[in-house]
């Protein structure tokens, strides 16, 4: 076992790992040791046996997955299991974000009844779909729910409910994402029937790429079993065997040998999510599941193209919003909408508004539908679900989400009073909150400590994300040696410093300029720099540099 360095020890303790055993486990994930027995999840035995019986009876099975970057990879996990077994009588259904919205839908269930479906397995949804599950049961369709969303009191009367957050369950990792739960179902199935179906031992590890993408994309804490899934998911992605992903990596100039979690969350996830926002979620599913090289290339091109369209649409909408807000009286909560706005991008727009204006944002649109739908994001000063729950009765037709992000629908009459009602509720629910650096500094360092030795220590703690943030360092009173902008539109910033040996240390940040910080940036000025270590592999050249978090 390699020795834990002083820096590593500090970083691990800052992340709540106190004992030597906890630290060693964290630094050296072990699949066999760290993955929990899937049968610890309530209803697992029931679910596995029902799937086996359906296969033996050649019943029609539907995998019903959510349209985001958790439900889609999770649906691929179950799809790949059925393909491996050679079971043909199944299909994958992903609801349309715009036409149908989130969850199980009665119209879809009626369609399944006409197609003689006998079993629905959900992925990343179903925990709150009481009437839809009841309808399926009336039609003689059994429903196995695999989900990770919060259980609100009672549960639907489904055949089996696999949800690690069940109050009557004792699964050791309640924070799995939806695809993580789908992976546990496959693990359990193979444990019981792998020999019967001649599935090679350990085959399910190839599915960790899908569970890994979802775990990184769905913002679940990267600790415990989730760390194991993300860690080995990255290893499988580096050996990538999926033609669609390979074409997408090539298109984005990502060398999978040097793949890091940011490549997934900033490059792959937005393109998979673009499918449901701008087109059909089916395209993202096809990209991940496709085996034909030509089809894979066409899908990678298509997802990149619609993601570019999504960026343009968001930029144009933001321009329109800024013009509108500049003429408006300032309020504590920003409420803005337009019947023409595309519902699928409202969450991205609400995030940008909350970030830029440092206030909660509620954004609505219709885009050809009947109902006004919206997305909301908090700046941290309020719990959105609590806030929406306190609105006068009938203000919203429906709402959901969590503390910092949510969705809602509102009637054509009530939308006119939404801003006023939210202002009143905000005053009651807002909490003490300081804007600004929502980061904590792990350690104060000197520029001399920006070394490949220290980078290796930090790298051992990857993948980073919620619960395991990138180590952040403060460099005090450092003198700016040079400043330049780079990128096609000259909209990225690079600041250089010199260490004691006169070596150049670069610090960069995308979409920032000299004016983006509270501190004036000029050559010769001394600043306090908050930054992460980063290794750039641009055009095959390795360069150790800093990524700017803040300048004070």
List, for residues 105-159, the tens digit of each pLDDT value: 999 999 999 999 999 999 999 998 999 999 999 999 999 999 998 887 899 999 9
CA atoms of 56 and 50, how far apart (whole Å): 10
Taken as a whole, the chain contains a residue count of 552
**Whether 347 and 408 share a structural domain:** yes
Domain membership of residue 434 (yes or no) is no
Domain membership of residue 257 (yes or no) is yes
Kindly list the averaged pLDDT for each block of 10 residues, start to end, along the chain of length 552. Answer: 81 93 94 97 98 98 96 98 98 91 93 98 95 97 95 91 94 97 98 96 96 94 96 96 96 92 95 94 97 97 96 95 95 95 93 93 85 92 91 90 87 95 92 62 95 94 93 96 91 93 93 84 94 86 92 89
Domain range spanning residue 1? 1-28
Q: What is the CATH number of the domain that holds 415?
A: 3.10.310.30
**Whether 288 and 147 share a structural domain:** no
What pLDDT is recorded for position 79? 98
What pLDDT is recorded for position 509? 94
Domain membership of residue 47 (yes or no) is yes
**Whether 274 and 420 share a structural domain:** no
Domain membership of residue 197 (yes or no) is yes
Q: What is the CATH number of the domain that holds 458?
A: 2.40.50.460
Find out whether 57 and 51 touch, Cβ atoms under 8 Å.
no
Measured in degrees and rounded to the nearest 5, phi and psi for residue 124 equal 70, 25
Domain membership of residue 521 (yes or no) is yes
**Whether 227 and 291 share a structural domain:** no
Domain membership of residue 321 (yes or no) is no
**Whether 207 and 349 share a structural domain:** no
**Whether 72 and 220 share a structural domain:** yes
Instruction: Examine the fold and report which residue of 239, 255, 276 is the final residue of a domain before the chain moves on.
Output: 239
What pLDDT is recorded for position 369? 67
**Whether 87 and 132 share a structural domain:** yes
**Whether 167 and 194 share a structural domain:** yes
Find out whether 310 and 242 touch, Cβ atoms under 8 Å.
no
Q: What is the pTM of this model?
A: 0.91
Find out whether 458 and 448 touch, Cβ atoms under 8 Å.
no
**Whether 256 and 269 share a structural domain:** yes
Find out whether 163 and 151 touch, Cβ atoms under 8 Å.
yes
- How many beta carbons lie within 10 A of that of residue 540, not counting itself? 8
Cα-to-chain-centroid distance, residue 43: 27
Closest to 358 (Cα-Cα) out of 383, 376, 333: 333
Domain membership of residue 435 (yes or no) is no
**Whether 258 and 234 share a structural domain:** no
**Whether 142 and 185 share a structural domain:** yes
What pLDDT is recorded for position 1? 47
pLDDT tens for 441-465 read: 999 999 999 999 999 999 999 999 9
Instruction: Examine the fold and report which residue of 315, 345, 363 is the final residue of a domain before the chain moves on.
Output: 315
Query: How many structural domains does the chain have?
Result: 5
Burial of 327 per CB tally in 10 Å (0-12, 13-18, 19+): exposed
What pLDDT is recorded for position 197? 97
Instruction: Examine the fold and report which residue of 293, 315, 337 is the final residue of a domain before the chain moves on.
Output: 315
CA atoms of 192 and 45, how far apart (whole Å): 9
Domain membership of residue 437 (yes or no) is no
What pLDDT is recorded for position 106? 96
**Whether 3 and 51 share a structural domain:** no
What pLDDT is recorded for position 145? 98
Dihedral sign of CA atoms 189, 194, 198, 203 in order: positive
């Amino acid at each position: 076992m390699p020795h834990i360095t002083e820096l590593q020890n500090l970083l691990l303790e800052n992340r709540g790992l106190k004992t030597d055993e906890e630290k060693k486990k964290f630094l050296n994930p072990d699949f066999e040791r760290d993955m929990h027995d899937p049968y610890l999840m309530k209803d697992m035995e029931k679910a596995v046996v029902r799937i086996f019986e359906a296969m033996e009876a050649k019943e029609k099975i539907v995998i019903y997955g959510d349209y985001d970057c958790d439900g889609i990879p999770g649906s691929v996990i179950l799809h790949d299991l059925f393909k491996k077994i050679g079971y043909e009588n199944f299909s994958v259904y992903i609801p349309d974000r715009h036409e149908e919205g989130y969850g199980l839908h009665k119209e879809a269930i009626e369609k399944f009844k006409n197609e003689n479906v006998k079993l629905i397995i959900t992925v990343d949804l179903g925990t709150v779909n009481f009437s839809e599950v009841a309808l399926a049961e009336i039609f003689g369709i059994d429903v196995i729910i695999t989900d990770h969303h919060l259980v609100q009191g009672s549960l639907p009367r489904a055949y089996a409910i696999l949800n690690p957050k069940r109050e009557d369950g004792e699964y050791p990792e309640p924070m799995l994402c939806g695809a993580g739960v789908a992976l546990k179902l496959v693990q359990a199935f193979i444990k019981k029937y792998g020999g019967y179906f001649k599935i090679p031992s350990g085959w399910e590890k190839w599915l960790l790429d899908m569970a890994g993408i979802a775990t990184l994309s769905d913002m679940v804490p990267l600790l415990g079993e989730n760390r194991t899934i993300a860690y080995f998911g990255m290893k499988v992605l580096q050996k990538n065997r999926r033609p669609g992903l390979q074409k997408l990596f090539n298109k984005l100039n990502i060398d999978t040998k040097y793949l890091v979690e940011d490549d997934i969350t900033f490059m792959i996830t937005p393109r998979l999510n673009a499918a449901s926002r701008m087109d059909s979620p089916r395209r993202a599913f096809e990209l991940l599941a496709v085996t034909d090289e030509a089809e894979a290339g066409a899908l990678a091109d298509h997802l990149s193209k619609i993601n570019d369209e999504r960026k343009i649409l968001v930029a144009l909408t933001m321009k329109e919003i800024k013009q509108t807000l500049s003429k408006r009286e300032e309020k504590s909560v920003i409420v803005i909408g337009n019947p023409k706005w595309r519902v699928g991008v409202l969450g991205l727009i609400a995030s940008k508004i909350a970030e830029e204006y440092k206030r909660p944002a509620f954004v609505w649109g219709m885009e050809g539908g009947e109902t006004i739908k919206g997305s909301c994001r908090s700046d941290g000063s309020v719990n959105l679900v609590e806030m929406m729950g306190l609105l006068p009765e009938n203000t919203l037709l429906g709402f959901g989400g969590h503390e910092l992000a949510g969705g809602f629908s509102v009637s054509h009459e009530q939308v006119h009073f939404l801003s006023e009602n939210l202002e009143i509720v905000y005053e009651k629910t807002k909490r003490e909150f300081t804007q600004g650096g929502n980061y904590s500094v792990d350690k104060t360092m000197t520029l001399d400590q920006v070394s490949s030795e220290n980078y290796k220590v930090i790298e051992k703690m990857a993948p980073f994300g919620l619960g395991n943030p990138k180590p952040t360092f403060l460099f005090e009173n450092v003198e700016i040696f040079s400043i330049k902008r780079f990128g096609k539109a000259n909209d990225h910033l690079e600041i250089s410093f010199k260490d004691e040996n006169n070596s150049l240390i670069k610090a960069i940040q995308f979409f920032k300029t000299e004016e983006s910080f509270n501190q004036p940036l000029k050559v010769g000025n001394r600043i306090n720099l908050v930054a992460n270590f980063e290794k750039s592999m641009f055009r095959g050249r390795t360069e150790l540099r800093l990524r700017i978090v803040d300048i004070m």
